[in-house]
Structures are given as C-alpha cells and as structure tokens.
Structure 1
C-alpha cells in the first residue's frame, strides 16, 4: 500500500512538472513571436522589410512588370501586323495585293482642294481623271505639275498637311507625290514614275492604263524596324505598251534603243499628214468615226511638231534620261539647304508656302500655325544635315550656282535641252525651281547665273492657259 502511494505521488509530481514545463515553454514561444511582430512593425514604419519577406514581394513586382510588358508588346505587334494583314511575307513579292488594299482603304471622294483646268486643248489626249496628292512646294510634286501643265492635262489636287499627313494615311507609300488614275483606281508613286507612265501612255495609248502601269512595278523591301522602302529600277525609261492584257508585262518592255525602224515610219507618216495606221494603233487607240478622223487631220499638222518624243534618236533619249536622273540625285538636294539656311529664311519660306498654297483657305488656323512655325524649326535642322550629307559648299549658294551653270552649259545655244521644244529633263529642272521661286535663294540664283532666259522661256510654255479653281469648304 505504501509503495502504491509513493508511485502515485511520483506520477503526480512528474505530470505536474511536465505541465509546468510546457506552460513555461509556450509562454517563451509566444513572447518571442510577439517580439518578432513588434520588430516587423517597427521595420515597416521605417520602410525596411525583413529579409525573409523580401523575395516574395519582389517576385510579385517582377511578375506584374513582365505581364504588363508582354501585354504592351502583344498589342503593338497586333497593331503592326494589322497594317499588312494577310500580306506577310507575300506582300514583298506581290506588290499588287498591297496596292489594292491601300486603294480599298482610300477615302472617297478624295478631299480635293483645287481643280486645275486649261483654256487651251491638251497636247495629247489623256482620257483618264487624275488626282494628285501633293505638298504645294515639294520639288518632286512641282515636277509632276510642270509636266501636266505643259501637256495641258486637267487634274485635281489634294493638298496634304505636311505635319498631320491625314490625307495620305490610307497609302502604304508615305511620300508625295502620289497620283491616282481614278478611272481604274491605280496608284502611281514617285514623281519620275508618274511622268514616265503618263508619257508612255501618251506616246502609244492602250485600252487600259494598267497595261502601262504594270511596267513600273515597285520593288518593296522591309528593314528590321518594319519600315517599307520602295524602289523603281526603270523609272527613267519610256516603254512600249503591251500587245495583250494577258501577257507578262516584264517580257514586253521595249526601250527606245530598239525603235529605229518605228521612228523612221513615224517620220514618214507625219510627212504625209495622215493619222497613224500602225499595228499598235489598230489594237489600242480608241476607234474614231470617219468624220472625226477628217476633222483631226488638219490639227495633226500642227501637233506633230509640238510632240517630238516619237522622233528622237537613241542618243537623245539617253541624254534625257541622264539629266532627269541628275535632277533627282544632285540638283534637287541643293534647294533645301539654300531656302532653310537660317531660321529667318526658313520662316519666310514657310510663310511663302502658306501664301502659294492657299493654306488659309485649306487648313484650320491651328494646323497652319503648326505647319509654318514647327515646320520652319524642323527644316532648319534638316537643312544642316542635308548640307553635310551631300557635301555641299559651306556657302550653300555656291553649290546652287554651280549646278545651275552646269545645266546652262548642257542646254548650250539651244532654246531647251530638247531643242526647239522642251523634253522631260527641261520640265524636271523647271519644276523643281518653281518650288523656290518665292524665296530669297531663287532671286539670288536668277541674278548670279545665266539660267533666267531659259527659265522664262519654260514659264511661258508651261504656265500659259492654266486655271486653278480653289475648292472652298
């Protein structure tokens, strides 16, 4: 009995000790937890975070940043891909598909600002309606207008806001000039292509203008940033029309070098003063009644001496191409550094642009303000870069005079480079000069070179009979 009592006492004491130990341990643990919590709160107030909680929070920020970046990148990629949806990578080799989609996106009717008509009949019949998207004083746009005005081909003008460029948002080709042949919804880019295509049609009309435009297909390339560049290898060549709409146009190109026989035949026909009965004319020229042919036979006597493109030799064509290229690659690059050489001249140039282009009637006052003042600042900076890029003289006027004298020397004792009548090179040089004729640089050019007599002869032929009808809103 005593042993049993002693064992029970020891058991009780042991359990009591264990409970006391557990109770003491729990108090110690709770005290440590409370201490840690107070430390964390103090660190929170100081802006510091315990090292144990930092990785978790940082990972959240990292994940959120990655997700936001992926979302923005995806949205940008989708936006870029929608520009050429269905055209990757096919559009680089199938330019017609790209041009067709652009024409489908083009607003109709176009926001025409001027209708250009003439009081005299055209030099050559051009039965298609033309819309020209332009900057009024862009030298390349002035080239196209000089060609159309000389040949008295009516056309509509859409003046493009050079800052907003909202009028050409539909086009994949982001430069001007752009010409649209409205009857067939054909877009022509690049001033030299536009002139060559229309001139080729005038030389030998076809059933459809697309037969000519196919011969000036562009080569489109895309850089790493997705920007498209357009090139036209044969833009300075005049070509023969296709014999059949179904034929491959790349196999039907005929340059002037292979046309000696055709030239001789044309000369004989003009001497006889008879309408053309050539093989091409039977297939492509519009059919005329006998009365119409009789009425036009008399006018043919006068017009055969006006249009000389059919009777040029291969050397004349080569000379014409050479100087057309000279205008685009050399002469035109001297203009901007001369009209934007100081901020004052740059501002005066844009004020003249505004007056010449009737911007007060075309654009709201705030858009006109942005174009004039922001454009003057930007082009002043661009002019300095162009001066270095094209290795112009420190005094840029001297480079302008040098190229003008080079042109005068090429013309020589003739009235024009083309002889008694201007050729395409004459029209190109005249066109780019009209882009600066309201500027101080133009007056200096006329005074310090011998180009003025030639310029006045060109102005008399090109500008006579033209009527600008401004479209008011």
Structure 2
C-alpha cells in the first residue's frame, strides 16, 4: 500500500497522550486533522481504504438507516409518565440548549437524562473543525448545556446539577448508583472505540453516521468519512493495547453481562424505574446500539431486554425541532 504522507498530522494527534487519556472526545480532533490534510491525500484505486464500489456503500448505508428506524417509535409507560409530570412540576426551565457532537457518548448521557425527565431542549451541533459554535465559551469541549443562561459543562457534573434542581431535598445518589456511574466513565467508555473501529468496514459505518448527523459540508463529510475512519482504525489499535484489551468484542460482551449482573434481577438498577446509573449506561450505548458493535452486543449477551426497557422508559426525544 502506498504511504499517505498527508496523514502525518493525524498520526501525530493519534499518538499524543491526550488521545489515550480521552479517546471519545479525541476522535473529533482526528476528524479535524483528517480534513485539514484532505487536499494532499491520494485516493489511490489500489488502496483497500478507497476501493469500495458504489453499490456496496449504498447497501451498507441503507442497511444502517433501516436499523435506525427501530429506535424511533417507542412507547412510554404509565410509571414513567408519572415521574415526568412530578419532575416538571418542580423544575421548569425556560431555555435549555445543548452544544454537542451527535455521536459523542458523553453528550448522549446528557440527552438521555433530558429525554427521561421530559425537559425540552434545543440542539446546537458543533463543527469539530472550527468549533465556531462554542467560540464564546472558555470551555472548548462538549457537552456544554445552557440552562436559562447558565453554563454547565462535563456530562456527569451537568447531570448532578440538574438532579439537584429536580430533587433539591433528596440525596443525590446512593453508593451503588455512584459506583456504577463511575464504572461507565472509567471503564465502559474505554471499550467503545476499539469496538466501533474494530475493522475498516465498521470504522466506515461509524463515520458515515458521524458525518451524516454532524455539521459538515459535502466535501468535509466525504473527507472525514474516509480519512477519519482510517485514522480511528489505527488509533483503536493503540487504545486496545493501552487498556490491555486482547479481544475487543469479548470485552464489550463482558461489560454488558457485568451490567446485567449488577441489576440482580431488577428491571433497572434503580428498581422499578431507572436511576442515574441506568441513564448513564443507556446514554453511552445509545450511539452504538444500531452499529455493528451494538447489534453484536445485543445478539451475544442478555443486555437486550434491559435496553428495550430503557428505550420505553426514556421515551421519545424531548428535543425541540429546529
């Protein structure tokens, strides 16, 4: 394979310490580097990265789009409706705006919380190249949540602050809930990248989703999909080694079963209804659920029933249409 010297910037970013410390946020910097080097990339017909025919790519896109439809129409249980009504009687913000990347698991944690509590919110999709949408903020990562003009950052901290507003007289969380929320941030998220970008086809599937939902021009979408997928494929191998993962699918399946075991036969970790740990696990898994890694996870583990219950409990999105 011919060497792509134009990917030097991508390689430098992928081997930087920050890439290994926070792989999920870091993938968006890789997109940026890939886009900046786009003009010098030689799309060689001999390279397996760019040898996919139009029919194959179209079929893959159509298959993925079809599976995404399963998550749209979900019902809401009477118990969950009651919980939402109770919350809204205490906390009625006038203006909630989430600055996000569509595929970011930390952003999806926040969205799962907002959806569950039926708090209406607007979405501002941040362009990972210019980040012009958050130029006004000293905090240069996502998620950023603006609640009636007040800025909140860091997904777990955002959720803590919103929970205190909703339940001001209730203890924030118990030991079990706190333990599993920490497990999500310190373990589960590290398993995702090696699985999402496990193969070239899976990396392309993921970036097709990212660039379709993100704030990209047509040229940026095309470049980010192929150059970004290639970069993250190699980065995922480094992350796999860093976190001592010998078999990424086995690690994902083990994590899924570990979570199911933690339920101890309960519908949710919170008992009859989800708690913050349930919402955290559901939130970070939601972006991969209908990618190949997520489909494999549901097929080969027993997490599917819990995930379906979470879909029903969280209900439809509370996002305000643009």
Provide the TM-score with structure 2 as the length reference.
0.69
Matched, 1:127 2:84: no
Q: Which shows bigger deviation, 379-388 or 335-344?
A: 379-388
Q: Distance in 2 between matches of 1:366 and 1:122?
A: 45
Q: Distance in 1 between matches of 2:208 and 2:321?
A: 19
Q: Distance in 1 between matches of 2:179 and 2:318?
A: 32
Q: Distance in 2 between matches of 1:340 and 1:170?
A: 33
Q: Distance in 2 between matches of 1:192 and 1:138?
A: 14
Q: What pairs with 1:226-375 in structure 2 (closer than 5 Å)? A: 256=171, 317-355=174-212, 357=213, 359=214, 362-375=215-228
Q: Deviations over 1:217-259 (max 9, x none)?
A: xxxxxxxxxxxxxxxxxxxxxxx6xxxxxxxxxxxxxx94xxx
Q: Deviations over 1:352-405 (max 9, x none)?
A: 2344x2x4xx53212322332332123223212211222112x20001111111
3-state DSSP class of the match of 1:416? coil
Aligned residue pair count: 238
Partner of 1:80: none
User: In structure 2, which of residues 98, 102, 113 is the aligned counterpart of residue 147 of structure 1?
Assistant: 113
Q: Distance in 1 between matches of 2:141 and 2:153?
A: 8
Partner of 2:127: 161
Partner of 1:384: 237
Q: Distance in 2 between matches of 1:347 and 1:180?
A: 33
3-state DSSP class of the match of 1:131? strand
State the shift of 1:173 in Å.
1.9
Matched, 1:199 2:163: yes
CA RMSD of aligned residues (A): 2.1
Task: Work out whether residues 349 and 438 of structure 1, in 8 Å CA contact, stay in contact via their aligned partners in 2.
Answer: no
Partner of 2:277: 425
Q: Distance in 2 between matches of 1:122 and 1:320?
A: 23
Partner of 2:258: 406
Distance 1:331 1:440, change over 3 A: same
Matched, 1:186 2:150: yes
Q: Distance in 2 between matches of 1:327 and 1:406?
A: 11
Task: Work out whether residues 134 and 160 of structure 1, in 8 Å CA contact, stay in contact via their aligned partners in 2.
Answer: yes
3-state DSSP class of the match of 2:152? strand
Partner of 2:25: none
Task: Work out whether residues 120 and 320 of structure 2, in 8 Å CA contact, stay in contact via their aligned partners in 1.
Answer: no
Distance 1:384 1:166, change over 3 A: farther
Q: Any runs of at least 4 consecutive aligned residues in structure 1 with deviations exceeding 6 A, and if so which?
A: none
Task: Work out whether residues 334 and 399 of structure 1, in 8 Å CA contact, stay in contact via their aligned partners in 2.
Answer: yes
Task: Work out whether residues 352 and 438 of structure 1, in 8 Å CA contact, stay in contact via their aligned partners in 2.
Answer: no
Task: Work out whether residues 118 and 318 of structure 2, in 8 Å CA contact, stay in contact via their aligned partners in 1.
Answer: no
State the shift of 1:139 in Å.
0.6
Q: With CA pairs under 8 Å and 6+ residues apart, which has the higher RCO, 1 or 2?
A: 2
Q: Deviations over 1:405-429 (max 9, x none)?
A: 1100000211000101110000000
State the shift of 1:468 in Å.
4.7
